[in-house]
Structure 1
């Protein structure tokens, strides 16, 4: 949107930015806390995939805080007021907007890259086929190289850096939007590759088709991140169209939708990386809920409980049936680090 006296200068997208920031930050934080709780329930130590998702969470929180500073101090989501000569009436706010936009580049790409790395490290921990481990290490190398390359490229595309927020400084600048478009496109492409990587291994397992489909669906939860990245690319294209058509652009207003999806992408990425590890939390919650329901629904049935020896015989019978059921779904532990039962316990199946 270019500067015009016809628009309502009182319009604001800031409540939306605050709502998205708070909601998705809570989702990301709770996801990581529950992931660590699940590890504790299982009596296992934190692994490299857990620590890297913690780093991704910290960076995602940095993205969110940075955007809230941009909103409150830099005017993101509001209209910039100009004088008759087309100069902003509050140049200090434009400076803050430029500085926080620049710092966003330093935070977003490492946050996204660390999330990809965490997911790949999780794959490496689950599947131990030598060839698959090589593929995951290659994927980790690509994710790290992608992160470093685009972070530094976008940081130093404008020289001097201060020209990003001070238009009076002479500067040289590469094609920022072309580079950003390539970064977003490769982001979506690498997300797709990371998502599809375990699918082949899952469908090699000797399990019922419905169970394979369920496990595949769990791994494909990360497609939410790809969808957010595609939508973010769409809004960036709209920003580019506005910037190329108008000499004076209301940047604090037109950038807001693109930054909505930056908040969503980084935080949903953390959630998607944690979701496959939360099986112990789901089991704990189910047991506690069942216990509460029993106490509320059948408060006087204690006297009619069966004797302990009959319960023991029932449990033995159940164990025999469960063991026989497992015979049809076993697979070679040479190719995966978990038994069929452990894999189902690890995931939501």
Structure 2
């Protein structure tokens, strides 16, 4: 049986991107080991996100291979349709868990670096918002139907009648919240960076490291477009509905894989010891925050004095021996 184009797209996306994301996560843990630094919450949360990514990738490939992706629902037997809806339900839940876990990892990474000044308050607030997003999205999506099983036991001709809360409205709302959280989290390090005494080129280089996650933002916006189409699907002819669901699933998966990948990229500096921007960021931002908070007493605070605070990890410890040698 020849595979449809949506099935091929699902197989390629769910093969290539999870492999790249797995390599990035593995390199992240290698980088931590190279720096002789204990694994932190940012590492464990991204590992959990990767496990969820691999789960939805395996299921997506399996669904495509057995003909559930890109096919007309009218051609399905009741057993096939039930199987498809179970897969969609599981993938919706897992995708939102991944969106939350990757955001948690980035915020925890910020807390690892920026542990002085007002940015601590901002990261703690972002952390609380992400946790609230994860809990709310998971349970409202889980219990949006009249009985969880009605999500997959409702026949195609009655699709939509089983919901207490309209599924497409929920997904749209959480897509918008997802975008707002992404923008907020990506913006957190910008103020400290642009207040540092660095050249324009260095500032741009450091900013680029943290804005690598903007690709995920693009995926989120494209997914929101297909979520809007999903909202209009009940008014469309039945033969057009599977395509909308397939596109929404594809971009949700792509966002999940890309988020896991890009969350790891700023941590890989020890793997590339000649890349100095992150080390400069850590050293400069700590000095700037400390100098600002103590400006009434002194104009500059050296690195040794900063590190007397046990909550502050010295920049060389963050980046490891390789970083200090190369710098």
Bucket of the pairwise TM-score, normalised by the shorter protein: 0.7 to 0.9
Partner of 1:59: 52
Query: Which of 330, 334, 338 is matched with 2:290 structurally?
Result: 334
Q: Would the alpha carbon gap of residues 103 and 329 (structure 1) be closer, same or farther in structure 2, given more than 3 Å must change?
A: closer
Partner of 2:37: 44
**Among residues 166, 175, 181, which one is paired with 1:190 in the alignment?**
181
Q: Is the 8 A contact 1:222 1:273 kept in 2?
A: yes
Unaligned runs of 5+ in 1: 1-8, 83-87, 287-327
Task: State the partner residue of 1:281.
Answer: 271
TM-superposed CA distance for 1:232, in Å, is 0.8
SS at match of 1:237: helix
SS in 1 for 2:287: coil
Partner of 1:154: 141
1:185-228 CA distance string (max 9 Å, x none)? 01011000000001101112222221111111110111111110
Which one of the candidate residues 216, 224, 233 is aligned to 2:207? 216
TM-score by length of 2: 0.80
Is contact 2:169–2:231 with CA below 8 Å preserved after alignment? Answer: no
Q: What are structure 2's unaligned runs of at least 5 residues?
A: 276-283, 292-305, 307-311
Contact 2:168 2:230 in 1 (8 A): no
Task: For 1:56 and 1:89, locate their aligned partners in 2 and report how far apart those are by CA, in whole Å.
Answer: 32
Which position in structure 2 is the counterpart of 1:78? 71
Q: CA deviation at 1:101?
A: 0.8
User: 1:249, CA displacement in angstroms?
Assistant: 4.2
* Distance verdict in 2 for CA 1:331–1:78, change over 3 Å: same
Change over 3 Å in CA distance of 1:238–1:329 after alignment to 2:
closer
TM-score (norm: length of structure 1): 0.75
Higher radius of gyration, 1 or 2: 1
The partner residue of 1:21 within 14, 26, 32 is 14
CA–CA distance in structure 1, aligned partners of residues 286 and 64 of structure 2: 54
Secondary structure of the residue that 1:205 maps to in structure 2?
coil
**Paired residue for 1:33?**
26
Q: Deviations over 1:27-84 (max 9, x none)?
A: 110000001111122222211111111111111222222322332346112333x3xx
Query: 1:131 corresponds to which residue?
Result: 118
CA distance in 2: counterparts of 1:275 and 1:329, whole angstroms: 19
For 1:136 and 1:244, locate their aligned partners in 2 and report how far apart those are by CA, in whole Å.
43
Aligned length: 291
Per-residue CA shift, 1:3-29, capped at 9, x if unaligned? xxxxxx984421111111111001110
Name the SS for the 1:128 alignment partner: coil
Which residue number corresponds to residue 280 of structure 2?
A: none
Specify whether residues 52 and 11 from structure 1 end up closer, same or farther in structure 2 by C-alpha distance, changes over 3 A only: closer
- Aligned twin of 2:107: 120
Q: Could you tell me how far apart the structure 2 residues matched to 1:11 and 1:63 are?
A: 19
Range with greater deviation from structure 2 (160-169 or 41-50): 160-169
State the distance in 2 between where 1:332 and 1:11 align. 56
CA distance in 1 between partners of 2:19 and 2:193 (Å): 31
Structure 1 residue 108, shift from structure 2 partner = 1.0
Whole-Å separation in 2 of the counterparts to 1:57 and 1:154: 21
SS of equivalent to 1:77: coil
2:151–2:162 CA contact under 8 A, matched in 1: no
2:172 corresponds in structure 1 to 181
Provide the C-alpha distance between the structure 2 equivalents of 1:330 and 1:165, rounded to a whole number of angstroms. Answer: 53
RMSD: 2.9
Select 2:195's aligned residue among 174, 188, 204.
204
Q: Secondary structure at the match of 1:44?
A: coil
Write out aligned runs for 1:88-127 (5 A). 88-127=75-114
- Pair 1:265 & 2:255 matched: yes
